[in-house]
Copies of this chain bind each other. A is one copy, B any other.
């Protein structure tokens, strides 16, 4: 069967294909989608073929210090958590660890997006300093997606694809689910009966 001369990429051996995929994934910091990876071969390989090769690559690296993972915007190589103690010896400056204020703000944006600064303050019960939002914007985890049509036109914040990538998530659905909280007051009032049942009972509490 003659090889289509315009589809030279199809002529690549499986080993070479794997080599090209591996090189591309090792060189790009941003995850690569399958659509992008197909461009490497002038779209001569099907999505299924690419995915099959990616699985093979994942297997190949299984026993190393790095792993091939699939996150929101595509596939990328990253180090395994067990390597972190070693890597930290090289760079004395620690990765940022965020304060509770930052993490709570992030959680509100992640679970209730899009939200305004006012919404965040309403939930936390304290004012949100501009520096908290700036920290999250600078990290590329949140951005402004619009303005609410109320006086002052406050900016609406939402989480970004980069946020999902950085947390190894493929979508917001993979966020830990919000938990139901135990009731706060021993109620003598039926309407207020927030889930009084203990968490170990089988019945899921309802609000």
Contact = CB atoms under 8 A, between A and B. Distances in A.
A20 B64 contact: no
Contacts of A19: 64-65, 83
A42 B64 CA distance: 21
A23 interface: yes
A107 interface: no
Contacts of A79: 23, 26-27
A20 B90 CA distance: 11
A22 B65 contact: yes
Nearest to A39: B89
A29 to B, nearest CB: 9
Interface of A: 19-20, 22-24, 26-28, 32, 36, 39-40, 42, 64-66, 77, 79-80, 83, 86-87, 89-90
Interface residues of A, dominant DSSP: helix
Most buried by B among A27, A77, A79: A27
Contact of A90 (B26, B28, B83): B28
A149 to B, nearest CB: 37
Contacts of A40: 86, 89-90
A182 to B, nearest CB: 34
